[in-house]
Amino acid sequence: MLGIDEFSVRKGHIYMTSFSDLEASRVIYLGESRRKEVVEEFVEDLKQLGANAGQIDVGCCDMWDPYLNGLGYHIPQAQVVFDRFHIMSQINKAIEKVCWMEQKENQALKKTRYLWLRNPKNLTSEQAERLEELKRLDLKTARAYHIKLALASFWELKDPTRAAQYLKRWYFWASHSRLRPIIEVAKAIK
């Protein structure tokens, strides 16, 4: 399983991309950018070492288009998997957008952003109480929040068949939510 992620070398948006063997927990290549060409450079490096990129069956990365395009073109047989951190980050950004749009009409949402974004386990009792009050209101943000919590529950499932069914139901719910930012994330995940 191949893992791809970028990191900043220093300030000024100078990035490198690390390619890791996730099963062996080791970095196998470092690229000097985060463009799609870095995937081609990685594949060429594998060839020079006598390895075959055709043996890579899974590629785990964030939703960065250059990585997705590079994987699709240079390692097309690899199934692309998104990591939990980046998926939940995208769903949180969608909740922020829904909340931002809705708070223009509803003053009850002012200064509630972090209530919707935090893990419920990390809320103080006052914050949890305030969130429960908000969830009782007929809010689009509350619907988006419930969709987020349902997605977070996906990673607790152990049975692959059950997990696939769960994700399919979640996708239907999210894609039919009538919440544009949530729909966009659901489609990106699919």
Q: pTM of this prediction? A: 0.79
Model pLDDT, residue 71: 92
- Between CA 10 and CA 27 the distance in angstroms is 20
Beta bridge partners of 6: 17
CA nearest neighbour of 110 among 99, 94, 98? 99
- Between CA 95 and CA 142 the distance in angstroms is 9
* Whether residue 167 has pLDDT greater than 90: yes
Q: Read off the pLDDT of each residue in 102-126 and give the average, rounded to a whole number.
A: 92
- DSSP codes joined into one string, 117-170: HS-GGG--HHHHHHHHHHHHS--HHHHHHHHHHHHHHHTT---HHHHHHHHHHH
Q: Confidence class of residue 177 from pLDDT cuts 50, 70 and 90?
A: very high
What does the mean pLDDT of the chain come to?
A: 92
Model pLDDT, residue 63: 85
**Burial level of 170, CB count in 10 A (0-12/13-18/19+)?**
middle
Q: Confidence class of residue 130 from pLDDT cuts 50, 70 and 90?
A: very high
Q: Read off the pLDDT of each residue in 106-126 and give the average, rounded to a whole number.
A: 92
How crowded is the C-beta side of 17, counted as CA atoms within 13 Å?
23
Q: Confidence class of residue 82 from pLDDT cuts 50, 70 and 90?
A: confident
- Between CA 13 and CA 93 the distance in angstroms is 22
Q: Measured in Å, how far apart are the chain's first and last C-alpha atoms?
A: 20
Model pLDDT, residue 11: 75
- Between CA 9 and CA 21 the distance in angstroms is 21
**Burial level of 130, CB count in 10 A (0-12/13-18/19+)?**
middle
* Whether residue 33 has pLDDT greater than 90: no
Task: Please give the structure tokens belonging to residue 135.
Answer: 């969830």
- Between CA 2 and CA 49 the distance in angstroms is 16
Contact present, 71 and 57 (Cβ < 8 Å): no
Q: Read off the pLDDT of each residue in 122-134 and give the average, rounded to a whole number.
A: 94
Q: Confidence class of residue 190 from pLDDT cuts 50, 70 and 90?
A: confident
* Whether residue 23 has pLDDT greater than 80: yes
Q: Read off the pLDDT of each residue in 78-105 and give the average, rounded to a whole number.
A: 93
Q: Confidence class of residue 161 from pLDDT cuts 50, 70 and 90?
A: very high
Model pLDDT, residue 34: 85
Phi/psi at 81 (5° precision): -125, 135
CATH numeric code, 2-82: 3.30.420
